[in-house]
Amino acid sequence: MIRMGVKFQDYYEILGVKREATEKEIKSAYRKLARKWHPDLHPGEKKAEAEEKIKKINEAYEVLSDQEKRKKYDRLGANWQSGQDFSPPPDMDGVHYYSPAEGMGGFSNFFEMLFGGMQHGFGDKQGPFRAAPRRGADVETELVLTLEEAYQGAEKTFRLDMQAACQQCGGSGIRGQSFCSACGGTGQHSTPRTLTVKVPPGTREGSKIRLRNQGGAAPGGQAGDLYLKIRLSPHAYFTVKGDDLEAELSVAPWQAALGAKVPARTLDGSVAVTVPPHSTAGKKLRLRGKGLSQKEGGLGDLYLKIVIDLPGQLLPEEIELYRQLSQIRPS
């Protein structure tokens, strides 16, 4: 996933040179630092620190001494801070290298992300470049569903703007000595795609649906996966509370006083609910198993909160009866 912990590396800062530094200045700075931090000169407890330093210095030099790599790195702009959490423009070069750990001898995740596809280690500088497995980046996006769609399952068609590496420059944004005109130097094209997904019944807020190979493209490799993170749009009647649902149940004053059977809406359709005698406002009635599907396979409940309301219009006889009621219990 793109979301692994990648920290921005300020290669200019590591070598202690300006962004405008010439090749010569970079080389000279590198040589000085490489001599200074040579692990052999730092025995004992300082050795690990020196190895860490030299690894960063080597990596910085690897990028800044290589014209193509330096250009690509410079494209990120000058506003990045060393150690800042970094995620590249989506599918920056169509190639993504999985490197869960920054082990000794390897390059940083940041380097792998930018220049993935080659890898060699400290102490192995003469060794051949090994091709890394090529695979497009995994992409995550949100899919908004109604509560009913998520509960019952649905087939959804949606449009998605996918970033794909520019074919003209291979995603580098550079052609020859200038910016690629096809993509304006961004290295990518945005392509709208229409996708259809089957949402399984019982889908919940926050759950993820994976669409294999519908993620970032990889030239000459397999595309990454697309993850759809489910969001539920607010519902006019039901409120989701964990596995349970809550809703209001409107009853007339005499139904609340004497008890009644009243129709109530559930996600499975209408049911008749027994309102017990002397039901006060705010009392909750529980309908077992009328909530949402639980992970363990069970079902949550639906809680109906009693709201006592008058019908839109009262008949003259009803008004007369209320008058009598008010005389029994004057306020």
Q: How far is the CB of 180 from Zn ion (least distance, A)?
A: 3
Q: How far is CA 178 from CA 70, 169, 173, 174, in A?
A: 14, 11, 9, 6
For residues 117 and 173, which CB has a smaller minimum distance to Zn ion in the complex?
173
Give the C-alpha separation, 183 to 298, whole Å: 52
- Name all contacts of 222-226 with Cβ < 8 Å and 24+ positions apart: 222/134, 222/135, 222/136, 223/135, 223/136, 224/91, 224/96, 224/135, 224/136, 224/137, 224/138, 224/139, 225/138, 225/139, 226/138, 226/139, 226/140, 226/141, 226/160, 226/195
Q: How far is the CB of 187 from Zn ion (least distance, A)?
A: 6
Give 108 or 168: the residue with its C-beta nearer to Zn ion.
168
Number of residues that bind Zn ion (CB under 5 A): 6
Rule CB under 5 A: which of 87-116 touch Zn ion? none
Which residues fall within 8 angstroms of residue 296, CB to CB, at 6 or more apart? none
The smaller minimum CB distance to Zn ion, of residues 9 and 163, is found at 163
Distance of closest approach, residue 190 Cβ to Zn ion, in angstroms = 13
Which of 76, 154, 182, 285 lies at the binding interface for Zn ion (CB under 5 A)? Answer: 182
Nearer to Zn ion, 73 or 238 (CB): 73
Interaction with Zn ion in 141-180: which residues (CB under 5 A)?
166, 168-169, 180
The minimum distance between CB 114 and Zn ion, in angstroms, equals: 16
- Residue holding tokens 């000085």? 32
The distance of closest approach from Cβ of residue 189 to Zn ion in the complex, given in angstroms and rounded to an integer, is 8
Residue of the chain from 63, 143, 183, 247 that contacts Zn ion (CB under 5 A): 183
Residue ranges binding Zn ion (CB under 5 A): 166, 168-169, 180, 182-183
